[in-house]
Structure 1
Amino acid sequence: MPPKLRRRSTGAALSHAASGEEAPKSSETSPAPAAAAAGSGRWTRSRSARSHLGLDSDSTDHPRVVSGSSDQAAPKKRKKTTTAVGGRGGGRKEHAPAAAAAGGSTRLASRQVPGRYPDYPSLRPGQHALSKKHMSAVQEWMDECSRISKLEKQARPEDIPTLRDNPRDPLTPDAVVSSQDKAMVLRVARSVVSVSSSKPDGELISQCTGIVIGWDGANKCAKILTSCSTVCDFDGEFHKPTFKLSVRMPNRTITEGRLLFFNVHYGIALLEVKGDFQLQVPSFGLGINYGQDVFALARDENMSLMVRHGAISWLDYPGLSTNPYMFLSCDIPEGGSGGPVVDHDGNIIGIAFDRNPGPVVISITTIRTCIEMWHPFSRVARPMLGMQLKAVELLDVSMREELCLEYNITGGFIVNLVKVDSTAERIGIRRGDVIVFKDNRCSTLPQLEDYLLSLGWGYLQGLSFTIDLKVEVHNLADSYKESITFPVPFSDASKREWRHSLRGFTGDNSAAC
């Protein structure tokens, strides 16, 4: 028979614990009976019974047990795991999960839990699907689902991109595919704005795209290049009544714009805006070439970025009204007139416009020359040839071969239209002739436009009011050529001059010079 265990008195300890009084000092130096028993592995029968009945305090509440007990002394079962905070004995206790939650984000934790839709009511054994009780349960289920759905709609956040199923512009994802092109487009987009003109009552007149081409940080002033359709009609007449110009910045800030100048011949307008903006001036390329792969950027009325991917077409359209334009192989988005055309390096090489019969581009070199002229002289000047031309270089290959073999013509420009009583008509230039400019070996209409525009500096500086151009005229009807000096007057008008008297031209409708 095992030896009989002696009963140890724990009444004093229990009385102190129940009354909340501090134990005698002797307990600080000598272990408590329960602690000693736990430390030595010896238990009395009463102690064991009291432990099983939960009358003793948890061993983790006593600092000596936590620091001095062995693995064998640990209780076999604990209801909760607690962590003491603030020191020994009388410190505050927190549950471990609560402490972990306190270290997290309280804003995230306070977010409302999404609604949970209830399960469809199931049929009990022997219950018919059309029974009154089951149909009532189904009706309650439908009402609850409807209630939760309404709550979800009320709590649904504003339109955010991560919850949008489809892109705002469905063609943009196909236009910009690679990560490199996306990074390039995002970099250029920091300079792309939206420009609109409206009547005093708020009615929209025109909405276009613009680009930041200059930023004066000291005066908080930016210059915006856009389409002249925001301020005038096709002939250059201002929109009536008085209109207001609004510019939406990339950060969606709206500010009022002030018109500096516009030129219908080139289709551009220059605006000024003031404000404490964080704007970035893009990099500019050296020009645009036929067949070049390009991206056209635009903004809609909500400032959403839209992109199209295409190329510069090898095309001359005889009905186009001016020389400097080149054609895009892709459409531009609605409101995209005045938006930048960029290469794969992110350099702006042109500005896109919505024209009939299709979108066109004007070289950035031409536009920058216009702006450079305007700054000191407040005008843009160029010689007016009184003709409409098209480039030999863009003819089909069979026609080019015919011109080369039969007339020894490999370049130049075909005359499609001559203005009545113009200098060109008086010196004998006729429709169907081919002219070659001797002072400049330009072969395309944009190159010719840059050449003519460069001659305007002399006129603006007061050096001359006309300029003599040396040209070689090929008369194909009589099979001869002649070199002549062609005196040409200048024009600095912002409006379209030739448009007002189409009867003053002989021939079909081609690019007017």
Structure 2
Amino acid sequence: MAPITKEEEGGEAWESRLRRRRTPAGSPTPPAGTAPSPPPSQRGKRERPGASRGRKRARATGREDEKDAEAAAASASPPAGHASSGASSGTSSPLRWPELPRAVLGEDSYGEQILEPFHEIDPAIVRAHGKLKTKYFAKLDRQLKLVSLDQRIPSSCMVDPRLLSVRKAATNSILQIAKVTVGLSSYIDDKMLGRTSGFLIDWDVENRIGTVLTSALVIQSKSPSLDEWSATDEYATHAEVRVHFMDKAATTVVANLLHYDKHYNLALFKVSMDLSAQIPSFTSELKFAEEVFVLGRDEGRYLTIDHGNVAYEGPSRLQRHHYMFITCRINKLGIGGPVINHGGQVAGMYSHPGLAFTPSSIILRCLQMWKSFNCIPRLHVGMKFSAISLLDLPHREVIACKCDIDDGLIVTQVSEGSIAEKLGVRHGDIIKSWNGENISTTIELENFLLDMCEKHLDKGNSIGSSVDLSIGIFHTRKGKHGTIKMTVNVSDDVEVIAEGTYPVTTADCTSGDDDDSGIIQGERVSRETPDDEDGDMESYFF
């Protein structure tokens, strides 16, 4: 597909960027060592009174006309090409400042030169000087737009003095990944829908086809809820998506949507292109506190770079389980861009405005299943979790003392009507193991669920079939350990965690604060009876 011609962007006013020039005797014109000097006959001499009176008479009678000004401008101009762009010849002419000739009348008591007053200079010369200054600034403006002099390019975090120790080591890695980092924009009826970054993850040499990975937010048309688990977001799969490359031609091509996944917030696009860069490698070895860089492209295709560390933080109740977090503030247009380590390996994709990224361990499993099954299936367990290992130490100590548990996942919400709710799993319970495997973080859980799906489908099973799970659980309210058997479905759709609700009736007007009578567990909402609270382990800690 033929590239789209890039629209020329409007330039900025550059006069404010020009260096102020100091001029003697209050002159508004800057000095220039290369400007022509006054004739010898004018140096150090006062002008003859008769000549001055002659000019005054000429001004009084208005004899100078525009034709005289043009002639004077021609005679006062530097050699041809001084104010031209050089477009008509192979070599651009040097930039020269048009110096207004002013006779030196002497020196003051401080040794400073006394120059001829402006009002005594030939008005035609002054007008010519004004026109030449306009040409000078126009040429300077053109020169400042040269790629080597362009000051409009935004700065990145790499100029931060605090990064001096890592700048040299990281520069080559960043510039290498930058070669495959692109910008994306989406449109419906030529109206922009969204803009993200992305990066090439595959290259078909024979067919010259590239695969770009980005966030599904590039085609998101509606997002009515902050809770991702509500799955109320909508996506415009028919939107036209354009991929913007940073190359000599500023190439833009229309991409074809290969796949998008609402649960993992990723999208894959196919683009026809030429490639002169190496496809980056991924790493699944990512540790908390590790330094990373986030790359992206802004509206002008310029590279954005942000630096931070992998945070000791897990997803909130509103965020899905596959996110890790970065300690720095990130350019919003970096969404969809690669998260890389110092070695130039892709450690993840920045995928959420809340400083969240999807680690490569999740991305690689998703890509593998998409290639194998043309979808990204997942087990829906109907629960939200937070990791004990990411809690503050005093909180972890309390859990260890009261529950005799050092690790695991805390249940932060159970979906209304789910299998887990029917089996008695409640908010605040602790999941210790899955099929006998100890799992410490939600990232480990997502990898476990994806691995279970892949093995299940490799055996010839299909989407919609079921998988049995054995879950080790600590019932916090009762202070009891146990195991539950749970059968869950394999689905390629987004998982929804529904909040339990029930209608308030007149019966609630007379019931006591702790009266759960009339509420059928699992039908309206899961609410424990007084018997369920026996042996309560002070669940308010969780």
Bigger mean CA offset, 173-182 vs 335-344 = 173-182
Partner of 1:179: 168
Distance in 2, Cα, partners of 1:256 & 1:440: 45
Amino acid at match of 1:160: L
**CA RMSD of the aligned region, Å?**
2.9
Distance in 2, Cα, partners of 1:229 & 1:134: 63
Counting only pairs closer than 5 Å after superposition, residues 355-394 of structure 1 correspond to structure 2 as 355=353, 358-394=354-390
How much does 1:472 deviate? 1.3
- TM-score (normalised: structure 1): 0.71
Checking the alignment, whether the CA contact within 8 Å between 2:470 and 2:484 is kept in structure 1 is: yes
Partner of 1:453: 450
Partner of 2:258: 260
Bigger mean CA offset, 117-126 vs 435-444 = 117-126
Q: Are positions 1:206 and 2:178 aligned together?
A: no
Counting only pairs closer than 5 Å after superposition, residues 268-283 of structure 1 correspond to structure 2 as 268-283=266-281
Query: Closer, same or farther in 2 for the Cα pair 1:333/1:120, shift >3 Å?
Result: farther
Distance in 2, Cα, partners of 1:132 & 1:282: 67
Checking the alignment, whether the CA contact within 8 Å between 1:207 and 1:230 is kept in structure 2 is: yes
Distance in 2, Cα, partners of 1:160 & 1:444: 51
How much does 1:152 deviate? 2.6
Query: Closer, same or farther in 2 for the Cα pair 1:299/1:133, shift >3 Å?
Result: closer
Could you report, residue by residue, the CA deviation over 1:163-199 in whole angstroms, capped at 9, with x for unpaired residues? Answer: 2346413545228642221111101111111111012
Q: Which runs of 5+ in 1 are unaligned?
A: 1-106, 508-513
Q: How many residues matched?
A: 393
Which secondary structure does the structure 1 equivalent of 2:369 belong to? helix
Query: Closer, same or farther in 2 for the Cα pair 1:214/1:406, shift >3 Å?
Result: same
Partner of 1:468: 468
Partner of 1:423: 419
How much does 1:272 deviate? 0.4
Q: Percent identity?
A: 25
How much does 1:291 deviate? 1.3
Q: 4+ residue stretches of structure 1 with deviation over 6 A?
A: 129-133, 504-507
Query: Closer, same or farther in 2 for the Cα pair 1:228/1:135, shift >3 Å?
Result: same
Partner of 2:347: 349
Partner of 1:137: 121
- TM-score (normalised: structure 2): 0.67
Partner of 2:296: 298
Query: Closer, same or farther in 2 for the Cα pair 1:132/1:253, shift >3 Å?
Result: closer
Q: Are positions 1:168 and 2:154 aligned together?
A: yes
Partner of 1:121: 102
Query: Closer, same or farther in 2 for the Cα pair 1:472/1:141, shift >3 Å?
Result: farther
Partner of 1:401: 397
Query: Closer, same or farther in 2 for the Cα pair 1:243/1:158, shift >3 Å?
Result: farther
How much does 1:344 deviate? 0.7
Checking the alignment, whether the CA contact within 8 Å between 2:183 and 2:298 is kept in structure 1 is: yes
Partner of 1:221: 209
Which structure has the larger Rg?
1
Q: Which runs of 5+ in 2 are unaligned?
A: 1-87, 224-231, 502-524, 528-542
Could you report, residue by residue, the CA deviation over 1:270-328 in whole angstroms, capped at 9, with x for unpaired residues? Answer: 00011333342012112422211100011112211110010111012433320010111
Could you report, residue by residue, the CA deviation over 1:49-95 in whole angstroms, capped at 9, with x for unpaired residues? Answer: xxxxxxxxxxxxxxxxxxxxxxxxxxxxxxxxxxxxxxxxxxxxxxx
Amino acid at match of 1:226: T
How much does 1:330 deviate? 0.8
Bigger mean CA offset, 273-282 vs 113-122 = 113-122
Query: Closer, same or farther in 2 for the Cα pair 1:479/1:502, shift >3 Å?
Result: closer
Distance in 1, Cα, partners of 2:343 & 2:477: 48
Which secondary structure does the structure 2 equivalent of 1:437 belong to? strand
Bigger mean CA offset, 108-117 vs 180-189 = 108-117
Checking the alignment, whether the CA contact within 8 Å between 2:337 and 2:350 is kept in structure 1 is: yes
Amino acid at match of 2:154: R
